[in-house]
Amino acid sequence: MKEQVQAVIDQIRPILQADGGDIQLIGVDEKTGIVTVGLRGRCGGCPAAQMTLKAVVERKIKEVVPGVTAVERV
């Protein structure tokens, strides 16, 4: 599961980097389906970061990786 999540993050990363941000996979809890990520750069302090996390990152990961229930920022 972790490799699949990382592959999706690698697809999303250039979009965030184009705006001066970045995303890093911190962990995947396969029992609960919760993915934890770190947002860096402009994403780290952006007021819209939570919306981006849910509307873009979480939605895409859930579409591609079965068993993911949520994506949380740490």
* 43 SS3 class: helix
CATH number, position 50: 3.30.300.130
What is the domain count for the chain?
A: 1
Q: What is the pLDDT of residue 38?
A: 94
pLDDT value, residue 8: 97
Dihedrals φ, ψ of 71, to 5°? -120, 125
Query: Is this structure's pTM higher than 0.95?
Result: no
Range of the domain at 48: 2-73
In 3D, which of 3, 74, 67 has the Cα closest to residue 32? 67
The string of pLDDT tens digits covering residues 3-54 is 999 999 999 999 889 988 899 999 999 999 999 999 988 777 777 888 888 8
Beta pairing class for 21-29 and 70-73 = unpaired
